[in-house]
Structure 1
């Protein structure tokens, strides 16, 4: 049990050290992972587990929506896109629709890649000071 606590503390500290851009990328990575897992579980007819994975993905999308700074025009577009994905994930979950899940996954991955690239550009322009 002591090792589990040490692991959790190390994980917490490493997350606290991330930049805002890094956190957004991690959220997209986790959303993608959860949706991929939901697709696999749905195909295996493990519907309860698949449902939970999609629900986690929706929760991440909600977190991303809540983190938007609405003073930028791109945030309005992202808010609409997040709303669309959230709604479609709900439909996919209710209908156990693997095809719809597969249609949403590239959207998440493209956003992840875009934010990863933007984050790397921003990081190279503004190196952290210790």
Structure 2
């Protein structure tokens, strides 16, 4: 990756909203896991392992950063799904079974599309929401401007 592209991607990640960062993580995990398969097919095993580890690290981070208080049942379900993915990736690593990686890529893709749609809906609702009445802003500000 060129120096300029690397700086751009770092800047993109540093300035992204939480929603955009989540989508970037999913995209990165998918990209790394797809690359792991390509490297294995090309018999470049050290590169294969490196990309597999990177994909696993992202899935582990997604699992570790779940907020069970805010996320409730959804967070629990995602925790279990990420655990399943980690099991599949561990098996792929031990048995050199690329089908296990493909299963994880498929699941990540489904989640990615779901999150993209959810973000669109939330952003659409925020854009359509009417502004608060002027009096409400004054009350929230303690009556002073």
> Please, what TM-score do these two structures have when normalized by structure 1?
0.86
Q: Is the 8 A contact 1:43 1:98 kept in 2?
A: no
Match among 48, 59, 64 for residue 50 of structure 1:
48
Match of 1:86 in 2: 86
Higher relative contact order (CA 8 A, sep 6+): 1
Does the residue aligned with 2:68 lie in a helix, a strand or coil? coil
Deviation at 1:126, TM superposition (A): 2.5
**Total equivalences in the alignment:** 124
Equivalence map 1:20-31=2 (5 Å): 20-31=18-29
Equivalence map 1:1-130=2 (5 Å): 4=3, 9-71=7-69, 72-127=72-127
In 2, the alpha carbon distance for the partners of 1:100 and 1:7 equals 31
Does the residue aligned with 2:105 lie in a helix, a strand or coil? helix
Deviation at 1:17, TM superposition (A): 2.2
Larger radius of gyration: 2
Q: Is the 8 A contact 1:47 1:96 kept in 2?
A: no
> Please, what TM-score do these two structures have when normalized by structure 2?
0.77
Give the alignment's Cα RMSD to 1 decimal: 1.8
Where do 5+ consecutive residues of structure 2 fail to align?
Answer: 128-145
Detail structure 1 runs of 4+ shifted over 6 Å in the superposition.
none
Where do 5+ consecutive residues of structure 1 fail to align?
Answer: none
